[in-house]
Amino acid sequence: MRLPTSAKLLGTLGFLVLTACTTPTPYAPKTPGDNTGYTDQRLDQNRYRVTFTGNSVTPRETVENYLLLRSAEVTLQSGSRYFVFDTRDTEAKTSYRSDFVGWPGWHGRGFWYHHSWAFQDPFYGPPYDQVDSFPITRYQAYAEIVMLTPEQAKDDPRALDARDVVDHIGASAVQPPPPKR
């Protein structure tokens, strides 16, 4: 016996309600205990490693824009104006959430135990329990950046002006909500 479509719809609706409560990762530093936000680490006098990690509802483009913004900010904070990406990549980490529709052991005749979710009911045929799986993807972008002098930047077509990046991307960055009092 298959569960009615309404039970499947209810499970999907529950998942959507839970994810609707989640908002994209704001542009903020990663703090202890958090899995999202940006980090930066000085590697050499003019070289830094920068990362930005988003949550499951932060689009890849946003994660990459925030990496670019943080790279520009680090460049300006270090006293430089220009930088290039030496290395840069974005990783997608996908996991799956499964919602089980139906209860193993409950089939309208009282409670009983069995050890497999794929139990074939001898009275009703195919498995009565169903599993709906949803992919959850989180993106992490990371880069090593190198600060350039104005002379070096003039000769390198990959050079980015940190001020221009902050002006163009900074305005669209979603800031975290103010702390509650």
**Each residue of 38-90: pLDDT tens digit?**
999 999 999 999 999 999 999 999 999 999 999 999 999 999 999 999 999 99
Residue 57's nearest CA partner among 109, 126, 134 is 134
Query: Across-strand partners of 132?
Result: 99
Per-residue pLDDT of the chain (181 residues; tens, 9 = 90+): 444 555 454 455 444 444 445 899 999 999 999 999 999 999 999 999 999 999 999 999 999 999 999 999 999 999 999 999 999 999 999 988 776 555 554 455 544 444 454 555 555 555 545 667 788 899 999 999 999 999 999 999 999 999 999 999 999 999 888 878 7
Domain range annotation of the chain: 5-99+129-172
CB within 8 Å of 114: residues ≥ 6 apart: 104, 105
For residue 43, what is the enclosing H or E element?
Answer: strand 37-44
